[in-house]
Structure 1
Amino acid sequence: MESFETAAPIIVLVCSLTALLFSFIKFYSVKRKSEGTDMMKSISVKIRKGAMAYLKRQYKTVGIFFAIMFFILTVLAAKRFLSPFVPFAFLTGGFFSGLSGYVGMNIATYANTRTANGVRDGLNKGLKIAFASGSVMGLTVVGLGLFDISVWFILLKFVFKLNINDVMTAMLTFGMGASSMALFARVGGGIFTKAADVGADLVGKVEVGIPEDDPRNPACIADNVGDNVGDVAGMGADLYESYVGSIISCGALASAAGLGFNGVLVPMLIAAIGIIASIIGTFFVSTKEGATQKSLLGSLRRGTYIASILSAVGSAFLIFTLLPDNSNVIWAVISGLIAGVMIGYFTEYYTSDSYNPTKNLAKSSNTGSATIIIDGIALGMSSTAIPVIIIGISVIISYFTAGGMASFEDGLYGVGLSAVGMLSTLGITLATDAYGPVADNAGGIAEMSGLPDIVRERTDALDSLGNTTAATGKGFAIGSAALTALALIVSYTDKITEMGIELNLSVTNPAVLIGLFSGAMLPFLFSAMTMRAVGRAAQKIVVEVRRQFKEIKGLIDGKAEADYETCVDICTKSSLKEMIFPAALGILAPIIVGLVLGCNGVVGMLAGALISGFALAVMMANSGGAWDNAKKYIEAGNFGGKGSENHKAAVVGDTVGDPFKDTSGPSVNILIKLLSMVSIVFAALIATYGGMGLF
Structure 2
Amino acid sequence: MDLSILAPVGAVVALLFAFFLSRRVMKADEGTDLMKKIAGAVRKGANAYLKRQYTGVAIFFAVMFVILLILAIAGFLTPFVPVAFLTGGFFSALSGFIGMKIATYANGRTANSASKSLNAGLRIAFSAGGVMGFVVVGLGLLDISIWYFFLKFWYSTVDVMQNEAAQVQAITSAMLTFGMGASSMALFARVGGGIFTKAADVGADLVGKVEAGIPEDDPRNPAVIADNVGDNVGDVAGMGADLYESYVGSIISTAALAVAAGLGFKGVVIPMSMAAIGILASIIGTFFVRTKENASQKNLLGSLRLGTWISAALIAVAAFPLIYFGLGAEKIGFYFAILSGLLAGILIGVVTEYYTSDSYKPTKKLAGTSSTGPATVIIGGLSLGMLSTVLPVVIVGASVLVSYFLSGGSDSYNNGLYGVGLSAVGMLATLGITLATDAYGPVADNAGGIAEMAHMGEEVRKRTDALDSLGNTTAATGKGFAIGSAALTALALIASYIAEIQVLKPDFNFNLTITNPPVLIGLFIGGVLPFLFAALTMDAVGRCAQKIVVEVRRQFREIKGLMTGEADPDYASCVDICTRSAQREMIAPAIVAVAAPIIVGLILGVNGVAGMLAGATVSGFILAVMMANSGGAWDNAKKYIESGEYGGKGSDNHKAAVVGDTVGDPFKDTSGPSINILIKLLSMVSIVFASVVLSFSLIK
Normalising by structure 1, we get a TM-score of 0.98
Residues 1:554 and 2:561 aligned together = yes
Q: Identify the match of residue 688 of structure 2 among 681, 684, 689.
A: 681
The offset of 1:160, in angstroms, is: 3.9
Aligned residue for 1:629? Answer: 636
> Which of these residues, 217, 236, 243, is aligned with residue 240 of structure 2?
236
Equivalent residues in 2 for 1:288-437, closer than 5 Å:
288-324=292-328, 325-437=330-442
Matching residue's letter, 1:75? I
Q: Is residue 170 from structure 1 mapped to residue 192 from structure 2 by the alignment?
A: no
Q: Match for 2:385: what amino acid?
A: G
The answer on 1:276 being equivalent to 2:299 is: no
What is the aligned counterpart of 1:110 among 88, 105, 130? 105
Cα deviation for residue 159 of structure 1 reads 3.6
Q: How does 1:205-284 map to 2 (within 5 A)?
A: 205-284=209-288
Question: Structure 2: which 5+ residue stretches go unaligned?
Answer: 162-166
Write the deviation string for residues 186-232 of structure 1: whole angstroms up to 9, x where unpaired. 00000000000000000000000001200000000000000000000
Q: What amino acid sits opposite 2:130 in the alignment? A: S
Greater Cα shift, 340-349 or 495-504: 495-504
182, 185, 189: which one pairs with 2:186? 182
Mapping 1:583-622, distance limit 5 Å: 583-622=590-629
2:21 alignment partner, one of 26, 29, 32: 26
Q: Which runs of 5+ in 1 are unaligned?
A: none
The whole-number CA distance in structure 2 between the counterparts of 1:686 and 1:528 is 28
Which secondary structure does the structure 1 equivalent of 2:512 belong to? coil
| Equivalent of 1:17 in 12, 26, 30 | 12
Deviations 1:245-271 (A, max 9, x none): 000000111111101111111100000
Task: Show the counterpart of 1:200.
Answer: 204
Q: Counterparts of 1:633 and 1:481 in 2: how far apart (Å)?
A: 30
Is 1:89 matched up with 2:84? yes
| 1:191 matched to 2:195 | yes
2:60 maps to a residue whose letter is F
**Alpha-carbon distance, 1:14 to partner:** 1.4
Cα distance per residue 1:460-517 (max 9 Å; x no partner): 0000000000000000000000000000001101111221321111111110010000
Provide the C-alpha distance between the structure 2 equivalents of 1:647 and 1:407, rounded to a whole number of angstroms.
Answer: 57
**1:9–1:153 CA contact under 8 A, matched in 2:** no
Residue 385 of structure 1 deviates from its aligned partner by: 0.3
- State the alpha-carbon separation in 1 of the partners of residues 339 and 39 from structure 2: 42
Structure 2 letter corresponding to 1:63: A
The letter for the 2-side match of 1:533 is A
Name 1:496's counterpart in structure 2: 501
Secondary structure in 2 matching 1:621: helix
1:544 aligns with 2:548: no
Say which of 648, 658, 661 aligns to 1:651. 658
Q: Distance in 2 between matches of 1:100 and 1:182?
A: 11
- The offset of 1:169, in angstroms, is 1.4
The one-letter code of the counterpart of 1:189 is: G
- 2:454 pairs, out of 449, 455, 458, with 449
Structure 2 letter corresponding to 1:578: E
Deviations 1:133-189 (A, max 9, x none): 111100000000000001100000024426112111111122000000000000000
Partner Cα distance (1:135, 1:88) in 2: 30
Secondary structure of the residue aligned to 2:262 is: coil
d(CA) in 1 for partners of 2:263, 2:183: 27
> Within 2, Cα distance between the matches of 1:181 and 1:678?
13
User: 2: CA distance between counterparts of 1:158 and 1:298?
Assistant: 47
CA distance in 1, matches of 2:523, 2:135: 37
Map of 1:470 onto structure 2: 475
Q: Deviations over 1:508-555 (max 9, x none)?
A: 111001000000000000000000000000000000000000000000
Are 1:57 and 2:52 counterparts? yes
Deviations 1:20-45 (A, max 9, x none): 01101111121011000000000000
Report the AA paired with residue 231 of structure 2. Answer: D
- Supply the AA of the counterpart residue of 2:370: S
2:515 maps to which of 495, 508, 511: 508
RMSD: 0.7
Q: CA deviation at 1:296?
A: 0.6
Mean Cα deviation higher: 160-169 or 218-227: 160-169
Contact 1:497/1:503, CA 8 A, preserved across alignment: no
Identity %: 70
CA contact (8 A) 1:526 1:582 kept: yes
SS class of match (1:173) = helix
Residue 135 in structure 1 maps to residue 130 in structure 2: yes
Deviation, 1:11, is 2.6
Q: Which stretch shifts more, 312-321 or 242-251?
A: 312-321
Report if aligned partners of 1:119, 1:126 keep a CA contact under 8 Å in 2: yes
* Paired letter, 1:62: V
Q: Residue 317 of structure 1: CA displacement? A: 1.1
What stretches of structure 1 move > 4 A for 4+ residues in a row?
A: none
Q: What is the Cα deviation at residue 10 of structure 1?
A: 2.8
SS in 2 for 1:639: helix
Determine helix, strand or coil for the equivalent of 1:214.
coil
Secondary structure class of the residue paired with 1:508: coil
Per-residue CA distance 1:97-148 (angstroms, 9 max, x = gap): 0001001100000000000000000000000000011111000000000000
Structure 2 residue identity aligned to 1:385: V
TM-score, normalisation: structure 2? 0.98
